[in-house]
Structures are given as structure tokens and as C-alpha cells.
Chains A and B, each alone.
Chain A
Amino acid sequence: DNALKNPTKRRRKKDDIDLEEEIDDQIANLKVAMEKACEADNEARDKGMAATHKLKLLPQVTAMLNRTAIQDSVLDPETNFLQSVKFFLEPLNDGSLPAYNIQRDIFNALAKLPINKEVLLSSGIGKVVYFYTRSKRPEPSIKRIAERLVGEWSRPILKRTDDYKK
């Protein structure tokens, strides 16, 4: 009977849910495309060809990461969009890094997101970011962002121990 008393409120809630489902679908589709692009780039490198598939998809990936209105969906550990983002940053089978534009755009987007422990654990993105701090291949500007992210992401964990000791 709540719905009868306040029909507009109920409708709005339904619209929100529809929108959320639509966004989840968009994210799921993009994730599939991203994983295919990663495979295609590795195959291209194996054949001695240029890896261009991830690069072509990059504008869509950064647009998704930078859409602040849907941040909750992007950072949802269950949607796990950041896992696909991790695949984008991973070194290719020959050990080479993805194109500089991929590194630059994704690291800049990551630096703006409020990434918590749950999404770090589900995505594994921290592992690849940590790899960028250790590899000698990234440009210094990229390494700086990677180092900053490792620092930021580990702070709550280190702080917890600190609080515990007090």
C-alpha cells in the first residue's frame, strides 16, 4: 500500500534500478571487449604485428573510469571492472608494456578514483600497479603515479596496525 500512497517515489526508484542495470550491462559488455582486445594484442605481438586493439578501446575505457556519476558501479567489487582495467595494464607475453597512452590515461583515471580495500582485493589492480613501480620500462611520470597509488592504497592498512598498537 506504500506504492499507492506515494506512486512517484516508487516509480523513481524503479527508474534508478533500470538505470543501474543498464550501466551494469554497459560495464559487462565493455569488460568482454577489453578481454578480447588483450588477447588480440598478445596474438598480434606473437606474429610480430603492432598491438592496436587495446588502444582502439582506450577512449571507452577511460570514459567509463572518468564517469563520476556511475563511480559506485565502476568500483563495485562484484562488477569488478577494475579487474579488466588490470588486464589492460599488464605486460604483454613478450614482456613489453602496453602503449604509453594506455598507461598514461589509465593511471591518471585511477589516481582520481576512491579505491578501497574490497575493490583492491577483488580486482588485483594493486599487483599490476606495484609491478609498474618495480619495472624499469615505464616513463618516470608513470612510475611516480604508480608509487603514489601504492602509498595511498596501503595507508589504511598500515594505519590500522598503527592504531592497534596505541
Chain B
Amino acid sequence: PRDKGLAVDTTGLDKDALDDMEAIFGNGDDYAWALELEEEEEDREREEQ
């Protein structure tokens, strides 16, 4: 399964910093559609092999 969280350690951050991180990098859902398409394609390729 794909790691949904940010690549940086956010433990111990205050709420303002977490809000900033989310405002800047998104909550992981912004391009989820593209990542889903990617996985579907991979599944198709695996089935074809």
C-alpha cells in the first residue's frame, strides 16, 4: 500500500505548522485520481503478463 502521509516527520508539530504543511503540500488527496489511474494501469499490465 502507498504511504499516504508526507515524506517528512510531522510528529510533534503544533497545529499551525500542520495547517501550513497541508496548505502547501495538500492532504494527499489532491492528485489521488492520478495515482489511482496509475495503479489501475499497473494492475492491467500485471494481468496481461
Contacts and interface: CB of A to CB of B under 8 A. Distances in A.
A160 B21 CA distance: 12
Interface of A: 90-91, 94-95, 117, 120-121, 124, 126-131, 133-137, 147, 150-151, 153-154, 157-158, 160-161, 164-165
Given A94-B37, A131-B34, A158-B13, A121 B7 contact: no
Given A127-B25, A133-B7, A154-B8, A117 B30 contact: no
Contacts, number: 80
Contact of B37 (A95, A126, A128, A147): A95
Interface in B2-33: 2-3, 6-8, 10, 12-14, 17, 20-21, 23-26, 28, 30-31, 33
Contacts of B34: 91, 95, 131, 135
A-side interface mostly: helix
A102 to B, nearest CB: 16
Categorize the interface residue count of chain B.
20 to 34
B9 to A, nearest CB: 8
A121 B17 contact: no
30 contacts: A90-B31, A91-B31, A95-B33, A95-B34, A95-B38, A95-B41, A117-B20, A120-B24, A126-B24, A126-B26, A127-B25, A128-B31, A129-B25, A131-B30, A133-B7, A135-B31, A136-B38, A136-B42, A147-B7, A151-B8, A153-B25, A154-B21, A154-B25, A157-B20, A157-B21, A157-B24, A158-B8, A160-B17, A161-B12, A161-B14
A129 B30 CA distance: 11
